[in-house]
Structure 1
Amino acid sequence: MRAFEIDPRLDKDTVAVGKLGLCDLRLMNDRRWPWLILVPQRAGVTELHDLSPLDQTMLIFEADLVAKALKSLVKADKINVGALGNMVPMLHLHVIARRAGDPNWPGPVWGFGKADPYPPEEAEGFLADIRRAILPA
């Protein structure tokens, strides 16, 4: 059985936040939207139905935990959750905080403009806030 490894594109586009019970939690390196990604730590999984029923339940539990914390942390108007996988086939779940008036509101975030990476000090501050809000101490 092969070991879990993060897809190279996800690794390039995101910053590691930490590990949950099932998922590797990552921050999309695009400061236009507070955007977290949950990646189930299971090798070869490309679809939700590829997960065991227990892992499916855990993914939804962790997505709910992340969505609530992110919404509260950034005072979002709406949380968008999606699993597309057209560009990166590895199963991963996007949890995106949206606010009225943010770039491309109310349209989708995908394919809109060019990513605006976090400056290192801003990323570290936001990562610390996320870790306090989501990860167990």
Structure 2
Amino acid sequence: MSDASFSLDPRLEADTFPVLDLPLATVRLMDDSRFPWLILVPRRPGLAELIELEGDDRAALTAEIDQASRALKTLTGCDKLNVAALGNMVRQLHIHIVARFEVDAAWPGPVWGVGERRTYASPQAMLLVARLRAALGGA
């Protein structure tokens, strides 16, 4: 299936930095410096649920979640990875991969709804994006 008709939800576009495109999903960095946080969005139009992915795409997304999770864990040395597909606020299918630390502001609870988002300074975001690209095998 072509991804030509795919478009990223405007809220995801506004709240994230592009990292790179894997074969199926686009990888984005959430703009909240309190939590190293990736978003994977399969480039397939109209998806809201994991169960809507076809078999090959489902397998590809699982492999890409694994790849992104390993890269984030290696880069951050986090204590725990949280991986979730929620979609209550943004219906477009997207997977959250959040690096968690026992000393972070939300530990041990979820990151949603805790405190105020702290956006990255541009140089800090660009450095992390470059490190993530390298860890994910991109240029």
Equivalent residue letter for 1:82: A
Work out whether 1:10 is the aligned partner of 2:12.
Answer: yes
The 1-side partners of 2:80 and 2:15 are apart by 23
For the Cα contact (< 8 Å) 1:20–1:135, is it kept in 2?
no
The 2-side partners of 1:85 and 1:4 are apart by 17
Aligned residue for 2:80?
Answer: 78
- Taking only the aligned residue pairs, the percentage that are identical comes to 47
Q: Alpha carbon RMSD of aligned pairs, Å?
A: 1.2
Alignment counterpart, residue 118 of structure 2, candidates 96, 112, 116: 116
Unaligned stretches of 5+ residues in structure 1: none
> 1:4-83 residue pairs with structure 2 within 5 A?
4-83=6-85
Shift of 1:136: 3.6
Equivalent residue letter for 1:62: E
Shift of 1:135: 2.9
SS of equivalent to 2:70: helix
> 1:81-100 residue pairs with structure 2 within 5 A?
81-100=83-102
Shift of 1:104: 1.1
Q: Deviations over 1:16-40 (max 9, x none)?
A: 1010010010000000000000000
The 2-side partners of 1:68 and 1:44 are apart by 28
Equivalent residue letter for 1:42: R
The 1-side partners of 2:85 and 2:43 are apart by 15
TM-score, normalised by the number of residues in structure 1:
0.97
The 2-side partners of 1:116 and 1:13 are apart by 11
Q: Deviations over 1:13-63 (max 9, x none)?
A: 101101001001000000000000000000000000111011011111000
Equivalent residue letter for 1:4: F
Equivalent residue letter for 1:91: L
Work out whether 1:126 is the aligned partner of 2:131.
Answer: no
For the Cα contact (< 8 Å) 1:78–1:97, is it kept in 2?
yes
Q: Deviations over 1:46-82 (max 9, x none)?
A: 0001110110111110000000110010001100000
Unaligned stretches of 5+ residues in structure 2: none
Q: Hey, which bits of structure 1, 4+ residues long, moved more than 6 A? A: none
